[in-house]
Amino acid sequence: MDEIRLIFGGSGSGKSDFAESLLSDSPEKIYLATMRRDKSAIRRIERHIRRRADKGFTTIESTGDFSKAGIPEGSDVLLEDLPNLLADAMFLSDGGVCHDAYEKVVSDIEFLMKRSKRLIIVSDDIFESGTDYDPLTEEYMRELGRIHTFLAERGKVTEIIAGIRVDYN
């Protein structure tokens, strides 16, 4: 693996555009979409696909277990987005909660690290609201923070604030 980078920022910050620009020179780039395709998400997913149509990405939709996703060895991968991946691992379709979601997500990321040449992961900045949350939401936020730390220990971290890039390491 040549590069792993976590890119995070608020909604509409420009983090996705920046992530895509990092792979603009790539001959084989995969857009790994982690949003579950349900009625509420279909328009958003289709808009994202149209927005990337002329950028040369091959889109693969997967909500986890990336070993089954058909990601070509040595490709450059843009994973969008980490909060959806964690939510799908943590909040089960039957209403249950998986308390080892961190391990599942990290296992998926480790697979991508072995499989890809460059791995760019997009995440959200959900840590600055100053609001008290219920214990389950706090657990989700804590696990997302742990995954951010895991990624920061292995690669580069960039925050995008209103289109402005801030590199942390």
Domains delineated in the chain: 7-167 (3.40.50.300)
Structure tokens, 156: 């580069």
Reply yes or no on whether the pLDDT at 99 is more than 90: yes
Dihedral class, residue 134 (left if φ above 0, else alpha if ψ from -120 to 50, else beta):
beta
Cβ neighbour number for residue 145 with a 10 Å cutoff: 12
Instruction: Read off the DSSP letter of residue 151.
Output: H
Confidence of residue 73 (pLDDT cuts 50, 70, 90): very high
Is 37 in contact with 152 (CB distance < 8 Å)? no
Structure tokens, 56: 């040369």
Which pLDDT value is given to residue 3?
A: 95
Dihedral sign (CA 126, 127, 131, 134): positive
Which pLDDT value is given to residue 129?
A: 76
Reply yes or no on whether the pLDDT at 59 is more than 80: yes
Question: Whole-prediction pTM value?
Answer: 0.93
Which pLDDT value is given to residue 37?
A: 67
Torsion from C-alpha of 86, 92, 97, 101, nearest 10 degrees: -30
**What's the pLDDT tens digit per position in 103-123?**
999 999 999 999 999 999 999
Gap between the Cα atoms of 79 and 154, Å rounded: 16
Instruction: Tell me which range, 28-37, 75-84, 120-129, is most confidently predicted by mean pLDDT.
Output: 75-84
43-50 long-range Cβ contacts below 8 angstroms, 24+ apart: 48/80
Reply yes or no on whether the pLDDT at 13 is more than 90: yes
